[in-house]
């Protein structure tokens, strides 16, 4: 009897794990089209490419800063590392100090490439 109950419990657990799997897969899937480096740094927790989330869409950022020309890349890279406030609303971006300058430049380059007509 006890054995039968144990077996039942175990089966239920297996079933629960199987049922939870598709949900986990969806949650773990990176945003489509996102630069893998940006996914690795969890930028997509607050940013999407097209929609506003907690932070502005990367396309909106690209549109706004691409008019600054080549200097925009360095400026954005430093903003990514240092964070900032008041440029898009009342929610500040906390500093992302774990991101190296090299990685921040690569992400900034990718963000700016999202501007319409970008040749980057
Ligand atoms: C916890 C949420 C959060 C995370 C994580 C986050 N951001 Fe942000 N980000 C924001 C918010 C909020 C703003 C708007 C800040 C403002 O209004 O100045 C912002 C603004 C920006 C801007 C525009 C800066 C400006 O001054 O116009 C860039 C570029 C950016 N984020 C890139 C990134 C990148 C790249 C990552 C990953 C390394 C990242 N963010 C991670 C919330 C976040």
CB 85 within 8 A of CB 34: no
Pocket test for ligand 1, best of 34, 42, 68, 93 (most atoms within 8 A of CB): 93
Could you read off the pLDDT of 9-41 as tens digits, one per residue? 565 555 454 445 544 444 555 678 999 999 999
Q: Any idea where the domains of the chain sit in the sequence?
A: 32-120
CA distances from 109 to 16, 19, 25, 114 (A): 43, 40, 29, 9
Helix 101-112 and helix 71-82: axis angle, to 10°?
A: 120
Helix 71-82 and helix 58-66: axis angle, to 10°?
A: 140
Q: How many A from CA of 73 to the centre of ligand 1? A: 15
pLDDT confidence tier of residue 118, bands split at 50, 70 and 90:
confident
Range 32-120 classified under CATH 3.40.50.720: no
Q: What is the DSSP letter of 92?
A: P
Could you read off the pLDDT of 99-116 as tens digits, one per residue? 999 999 999 999 999 998
Tell me the C-alpha distance between 20 and 25, whole Å. Answer: 9
The closest residue, in CA terms, to atom 1 on ligand 1 is 46
CB 54 within 8 A of CB 110: no
Tell me the C-alpha distance between 42 and 17, whole Å. Answer: 26
């Amino acid at each position: 009897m006890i054995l039968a109950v144990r077996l039942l419990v175990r089966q239920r657990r297996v079933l629960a794990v199987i049922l939870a799997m598709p949900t986990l897969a969806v949650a773990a899937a990176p945003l489509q089209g996102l630069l893998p480096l940006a996914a690795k740094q969890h930028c997509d927790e607050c940013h999407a490419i097209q929609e506003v989330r907690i932070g502005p869409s990367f396309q909106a950022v690209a549109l706004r800063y691409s008019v600054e020309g080549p200097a925009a890349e360095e400026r954005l890279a430093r903003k990514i590392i240092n964070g900032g406030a008041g440029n898009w609303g009342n929610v500040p971006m906390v500093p992302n100090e774990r991101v190296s300058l090299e990685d921040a430049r690569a992400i900034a380059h990718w963000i700016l490439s999202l501007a319409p007509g970008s040749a980057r």
